[in-house]
Chain A
Amino acid sequence: MWDSILSALPLLFSPAVLLAMAGGTTIGVLIGALPGLSATMGIAVLIPLTFTMDPLVALGMMAGIYNGAMYGGAIPAILLRIPGTPAGIATVFDGHPMAQKGQGLEAMKIALTSSAIGGSVSALALLFLSPPLAAVALKFGPVEIFWLAIFGLAAISVLLSDAPIKGLISACLGLVIGMVGIDSMTGNERFTFNVMDLMGGIDILVLLTGLYAIPPALTLAQEAMLLSKTSIGSGGKTRSGIGWRRLVPTWCRASVIGVIVGIIPGTGGNIAAMLSWNEARRVAKDKSRFGKGAPEGVAAAECANNADNAASLIPALTLGIPGSSVSAVILGGLLVHGMLPGPDLFTRSAPVTYGFILAMLVTSIMLFVIGRLGARLFINVMYMPPLLLAPIIIALTTIGVYAINNSLFDVWLMLAFGVMGWGMERLKIPLAPAVLAVILGPVAESSLRRAMLIGRHEVSYLFSSTIAIVMVTIIVLTILVPIIRRLLTHYRGRPSKLAMASDPERARQRFEP
């Protein structure tokens, strides 16, 4: 591991990668600061632009956008009471009351420092937990890989939506999209309908850009929220003196919560932030301060949602199972640069993989510097008119997707996926299972075929190893437990903390003072 880290360092600190990381972090904060745009959208729009770059330059930029956007979401959450990203919801609770007391800039400083700390802890967790997990995963045969892919699909399908059925529909849609094209094992066409452009399959980038970049643009244009100078203010000038030392225990707890939540597929920064904020309030001597501008509340939420970032990449990089939409998009980025997610990343592409992990750490530190230097700029970005921003996003994605294969068909397909994604969001059908299924579907299918060949077409071979049986048990539990919990909730009429945390509206009603 240390050899790989040492070989990655010169690549990481090359001028191009440093510039990409700094640029990515700045762009990330700007994207996060704009309500309605997210890290997922930012990365999806920019992946096509990174197509011709060196892998580490592209991945360094993605790492910067990811970390930057998570902090950026705190800016409108504090100043406007509008979370820039879903993970910024818990920041509203204490951040906005601080801004109302004239301590907006102090709240932003706490959010920035907490985000940098959370992001750094998360990157270290990714650095030290991934290699042992990848070493275990290397021992997996086709049977285990098949069940692992099914587990990833089941977890994200069931956990990401209020209604598991909608998550499963999304996953099935993704599996169908992943099957379009010529079957690599038999050479037969599947779902191509004799359209030449579909023979090679649907490019993952076209799907990612369509699903994650077009719907926010359409929503921005629809809602056309215009902000005035008076609604934002300058962040305030009141200085009460931040007791940094008393935030240390909050950061420790929030980092642990963020990392653990991040590793679990199907969760996300919003759940980590909500649980962490609730935990900070639970252990506080004076609970009444929470929701009225407690600095610990801002620190807990922001530290946890950034501690979720790199941790959510642990299952993605080691097992090839992205646990969230943003890690699915990053996996798409890896695929574009010829890196197949899974344990092989840590052997065949070790320098670039470790370089990317270290980029998550470096961009967390860069975030602190860039956030301090550009605070005023990031506040001003909220004035950007969405009615101009929406066509710009559409234009950027159009040329980005066209430039991949010089194919206008891809652009039409992207627009179609965009409209489909917009519709899915309106119907509360999660997008992530579809994307995950496109990535995991072919992995599951080829593993199943290899397993059946080895097992001479005996289905019992799929249950022949202990790991396989354990995985099947976990899959059954993953599907059944949320369904049973929902049934119990339905009969008791009281939702669980996790369910509340995963539903922003419900969480706001329950927690917000």
Chain B
Amino acid sequence: MRQAVVETGVALAGTVISVFGLIHALGFTRDSAYLPVAVMGLLTLLLVIWGVRSALTLRHDGGDSIRPAPGHVKRFFILLATSIVMIVAAPRLGFATTFLLFVPLSGMLLGYRKGKWLVVTAITFSLLIYLIFQVVLDRPLPPEMALRFFTGI
């Protein structure tokens, strides 16, 4: 795919959102509105210029082409998906417990195959996180399910 195609698409989508933001900003009271209106107006203008320039590049010589390797795209989405699951799970299971599962699972799904290191890294990292945040910094974090499981506390 051509970089200019992506840029034109992003600029177009950005312009639509920006116009929406401009209309929204026009509804603010006078004293609060002038900077948001000015910034959204400028942003809309810049996005239009960017979009036109990208479209012109596409028309002239097509511009640079981007061809991400299939593995790149796959690993990007795997990490993003496991991160989302981790964020959903963390308040319920506790952060250290979630990391105990998230780090090896993500590593394995991303293609890391040394099982021993996956387990050792996950346990060491989760322990460090627990020690730093719960013991040293004393941050009020959700209770750890692993701790309840192993100690019954």
Residues of A within 8 A of B (CB): 49, 51-52, 165-166, 168-169, 172-173, 175-176, 179, 183, 185-186, 188, 190-191, 217-218, 221-224, 385, 387-388, 390-392, 394-396, 398-399, 402-403, 406, 408, 411-412, 415, 419, 423, 426-427, 445, 448
B111 within 8 A of A: yes
Chain B interface residue count: which class? 35 or more
B16 within 8 A of A: no
- Per the bound structure, the CA–CA distance linking A426 and B76 in Å amounts to 13
Q: Would you call A388 and B112 a contact (CB within 8 A)?
A: yes
Of the candidates B14, B79, B111, B140, which one forms a contact with A394 in the assembled complex, judged by CB atoms under 8 Å apart? B79
- Per the bound structure, the CA–CA distance linking A179 and B95 in Å amounts to 32
20 contacts between A and B (CB under 8 A): A52-B138, A165-B46, A172-B43, A172-B46, A175-B35, A176-B40, A183-B32, A218-B80, A222-B75, A387-B112, A388-B112, A391-B79, A391-B110, A392-B125, A395-B129, A398-B86, A399-B129, A403-B137, A411-B90, A419-B80
Q: Would you call B95 and A391 a contact (CB within 8 A)?
A: no
Q: Taking CB as reference atom, which chain B residue is nearest A53?
A: B137
- Per the bound structure, the CA–CA distance linking A176 and B47 in Å amounts to 14
Q: Would you call B35 and A179 a contact (CB within 8 A)?
A: yes
Q: Taking CB as reference atom, which chain B residue is nearest A51?
A: B137
Q: Quick one: given A176-B39, A221-B110, A403-B133, are A395 and B76 in contact (CB under 8 Å)?
A: no
Q: A165-B49, A423-B10 are in contact. List 13 more A-B contacts (CB 8 A).
A: A169-B46, A176-B40, A176-B43, A218-B80, A221-B76, A388-B121, A391-B79, A394-B79, A395-B86, A406-B139, A406-B140, A406-B141, A412-B87
Write the B70-92 contact mask toward A (1 if CB under 8 angstroms, else 0). Answer: 01110110111011101100110
With a CB–CB cut-off of 8 A, which chain A residues contact B138?
A: 52
- Per the bound structure, the CA–CA distance linking A188 and B75 in Å amounts to 43
Min distance, Cβ B103 to any Cβ of chain A, angstroms: 5
Q: Would you call A408 and B99 a contact (CB within 8 A)?
A: no
- Per the bound structure, the CA–CA distance linking A163 and B84 in Å amounts to 34
B contact patch SS: helix
Min distance, Cβ A497 to any Cβ of chain B, angstroms: 24
Q: Taking CB as reference atom, which chain B residue is nearest A423?
A: B10
Of the candidates A52, A165, A402, A423, which one forms a contact with B53 in the assembled complex, judged by CB atoms under 8 Å apart? A165
